[in-house]
Amino acid sequence: QVQLVESGGGLVQAGGSLRLSCAASGRTFRTYAMGWFRQAPGKEREFVAAISWSGGSTYYADSVKGRFAISRDNGKNMLYLEMNSLKLEDTAVYYCAAHYSGSYYYFSSYDYWGQGTQVTVSS
**Contacts (Cβ under 8 Å, ≥6 apart) of 40:** 89, 91, 92, 93
Q: How far is CA 38 from CA 14, 16, 97, in A?
A: 17, 18, 11
What is the mean predicted confidence (pLDDT) over 79-99?
Answer: 98
Tens of pLDDT along 15-53? 999 999 999 997 789 899 999 999 999 999 999 999 999
CA 106 to CA 108: how far, in whole Å? 5
**Residue 32 confidence (pLDDT):** 94
